[in-house]
């Protein structure tokens, strides 16, 4: 099923991009004067195959999972915060709820691997693979079968949203300790040292940061993930919510939908998606540059240029929400501005 999905991911539509560029050049402004908004509208035209794309149905998919590596003291918060925050999302008390409302996006909350039994809730999608991953300092995070199952679960989630009318998807995460597997993924794929990629996450002190670096180094040494095999990297040092988000990205790209990538954890998921299917890359939009120290290397590996830098390090999809607002603005400029001819404005000196 994964191979079939990957085969559906096509290059961007150059005809639509050329038409969008031509219209941008005719709008009542100096060519290129709206900078990244112009580039973004052209990219979205290529993704969707529509010369004048519309973004109306905006969805943020926030996936939650726990991590065995928290036993190594890599987080400033205890693991029970993960299910507590999932409940906070469901009862609309979190930052992502406020920002999603602000930009007119709906949120889909998914339990990919919370280490607790979550009570049924009409807004909670249950795709739990297991109650958290194994401790990556002692062996693989999950089996290859679990990794593929988690990816395909993510595909199912985004396809259900596409069936409801999704025009753009933002990625979000929740999982105490998940900056550690994210940094491990980045180290495995970039070859960079864990010390250059690991950040303070939830706000660990110097000793906590060193424990995190040590844990990543041990995980890479014990598991030896193959950087040429994205599924192997995911299974050995990843997380269930990271796998699910990789599936969301793959599924969205297969259906020609733009993906607004949030911060550190979402970018690790994007790296896994690209490692599995390089054709995904042009479907990605980096919403923001995270305060996490290793994020810049990760977005450089992906070849992306973040839309904003607001010193965010929260996750949840918060940066993606604001990025979606900019994507919508870019498409509205393309669609709603008058051309020189329409406005009766001279475009010649």
Pairwise CA distance, residues 301 & 299, whole Å: 5
DSSP 8-state assignment for residue 338: P
Q: Among residues 148, 241, 316, 328, which one is catalytic?
A: 316
Report helix, strand and coil shares of the chain as percent, to nearest 5: 55, 10, 35
Backbone angles phi, psi at 242, to 5 degrees: -65, -40
Q: b/e string for 274-284 if b means 16 or more Cβ within 10 A?
A: bbbbebbebbb
For residue 170, CA distances in Å to 24, 28, 61, 234, 322 come to 25, 31, 6, 21, 10
Any catalytic annotation for residue 316?
A: yes
The three-class DSSP label of residue 204 is coil
User: Tokens 């599936």 label which residue?
Assistant: 247
Task: Give the up-direction half-sphere exposure of residue 187: CA atoms within 13 A in the CB hemisphere.
Answer: 30
Backbone angles phi, psi at 106, to 5 degrees: -95, 160
Active site residues: 316
């Amino acid at each position: 099923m994964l191979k079939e999905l990957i085969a559906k991911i096509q290059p961007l539509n150059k005809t639509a991009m050329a038409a969008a560029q031509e219209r941008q050049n005719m709008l009542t402004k100096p060519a290129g004067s709206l900078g990244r908004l112009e580039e973004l509208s052209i990219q979205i035209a290529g993704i969707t195959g529509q010369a004048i794309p519309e973004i109306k149905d905006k969805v943020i998919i926030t996936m939650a999972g726990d991590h065995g590596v928290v036993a190594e003291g890599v987080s400033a918060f205890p693991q029970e915060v993960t299910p507590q925050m999932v409940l906070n999302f469901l009862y609309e008390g979190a930052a992502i709820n406020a920002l999603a409302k602000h930009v007119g996006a709906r949120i889909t909350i998914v339990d990919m691997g919370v280490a607790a039994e979550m009570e049924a809730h009409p807004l909670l999608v249950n795709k739990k693979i297991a109650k958290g991953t194994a401790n990556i300092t002692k062996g693989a995070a999950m089996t290859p079968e679990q990794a593929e199952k988690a990816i395909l679960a993510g595909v199912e989630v985004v396809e259900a949203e596409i069936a409801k009318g999704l025009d753009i998807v933002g990625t979000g995460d929740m999982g105490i300790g998940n900056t550690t597997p994210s940094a491990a993924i980045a180290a495995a794929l970039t070859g960079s040292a864990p010390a250059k990629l690991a950040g303070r996450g939830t706000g660990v002190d110097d000793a906590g940061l060193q424990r995190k670096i040590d844990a990543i180094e041990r995980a890479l040494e014990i598991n030896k993930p193959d950087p040429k095999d994205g599924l192997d990297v995911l299974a050995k040092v990843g997380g269930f919510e990271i796998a699910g988000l990789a599936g969301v990205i793959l599924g969205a790209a297969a259906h020609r939908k733009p993906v607004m990538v949030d911060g550190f954890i979402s970018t690790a998921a994007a790296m896994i998606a690209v490692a599995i299917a390089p054709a995904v890359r042009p479907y990605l939009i980096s919403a923001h540059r995270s305060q996490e120290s290793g994020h810049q290397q990760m977005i450089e590996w992906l070849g992306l240029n973040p839309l904003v830098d607001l010193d965010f390090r929260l996750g949840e999809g918060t940066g993606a929400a604001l990025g979606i607002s900019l994507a919508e603005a870019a498409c509205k400029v393309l669609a709603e501005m008058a051309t020189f001819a329409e406005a009766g404005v001279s475009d010649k000196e």
